[in-house]
Amino acid sequence: MTFVFPYRRGRDDFDIQQSIRFIRMSFPEAHIVTVGDKVATIDNIPCPQLNNIRGSDVTNKMLTFARERGGSFIYMNDDFYITPKLRADIPIHIGEFELNPRHPSHYREAMFNTIEFLKYYERPLWNFETHSPVLMDSDKLLEIFELIEWQRYNHFIKSIYLNMNLPELIRKGDNVKLAKDNIPKAEELLRTYGCFSTSDSFLTTRGRSWIKNLFWIPEA
């Protein structure tokens, strides 16, 4: 099992170091790769930042992995935390895409472009932007993004990939990203989905301490 992080370092490596620790607790034999910035002791594929378009930089890193290594892998972000209950092969969606004027402009742009692309190819419009890991296949990923001007336009790589290659099983659930350091909710998400995702607001002193000192997996 290979876990791949498209990684651009922020203020420190806390999130990714702890995310990697959770992987190692949950799947001791996992192979972990960062694409972009390197993390000590972790396999790395160098990949300079492409541009300031968020979706394009991430896609560039994932396509770099697909071209250079290939095979199936689990797409991660540095703020994803997982347990052995994770089912990356059964992705979580939150219903169909709906444009929302309250979203930031870059998010609305990515959603609009993703919807237009999926409509053109008459594919479903499930919103898989739930901040959860998903299983991908390198060959399928490369094939899809040959169809897209991904370098120029913001987009959602996960929702494009999954709707174009809809798995046999999908499930409706929650966006597992937590805006506050709500530790009981984080434990609930770990029990329910085997994953949750942090935000800057979660990483208070209390939130960081809970993550750093968690050496047990919440039971179902």
Single-letter code of the amino acid located at 76: M
Tell whether the model's pLDDT for residue 53 goes beyond 80. no
Judged by DSSP in three states, 96 sits in strand
Q: What is the pLDDT of residues 1-44, one digit of tens each?
A: 999 999 998 888 999 999 999 999 999 999 999 999 999 999 99
Q: What is the pLDDT of residues 93-110, one digit of tens each?
A: 999 999 888 888 889 999
Q: Which residue has the higher pLDDT, 198 or 215?
A: 198
Angle at 199 between CA 36 and CA 141, to 5 degrees: 40
Q: What is the pLDDT of residue 11?
A: 80
Tell whether the model's pLDDT for residue 137 goes beyond 80. yes
Tell whether the model's pLDDT for residue 65 goes beyond 60. yes
> What percentage of residues in the chain have a pLDDT greater than 90?
85
Tell whether the model's pLDDT for residue 90 goes beyond 90. yes
Domains of the chain: 2-212 (3.90.550)
Q: E strand or H helix at 4, and its extent?
A: strand 2-7
- pTM over the 0.85 mark: yes
Torsions phi, psi of 140, nearest 5?
A: -65, -40
Measured CA to CA in angstroms, residue 181 lies from 178, 201, 202, 206, 207 at distances of 7, 7, 4, 7, 5
Mean pLDDT along residues 175-201 = 94
- Comparing C-alpha atoms, which of 81, 58, 107, 94 is closest to residue 198? 81
Q: E strand or H helix at 206, and its extent?
A: helix 205-212
Q: pLDDT tier at 217 (50, 70, 90 boundaries)?
A: low
Q: What is the pLDDT of residue 219?
A: 61
Torsional sign, CA 89, 23, 17, 197: positive
Q: Which residue has the higher pLDDT, 104 or 141?
A: 141
Q: What is the pLDDT of residue 21?
A: 96
Q: pLDDT tier at 135 (50, 70, 90 boundaries)?
A: very high
Average confidence score pLDDT of the chain: 94
Mean pLDDT along residues 84-93 = 97
Q: What is the pLDDT of residue 218?
A: 58
Of the listed ranges 10-19, 34-43, 65-74, 136-145, the one predicted with least confidence = 10-19
Tell whether the model's pLDDT for residue 149 goes beyond 70. yes
Q: Buried b / exposed e across 77-87, counting CB within 10 Å, b at 16+?
A: bbbbbbbebbb
CA distance 166 to 164: 6
CB 123 within 8 A of CB 96: no
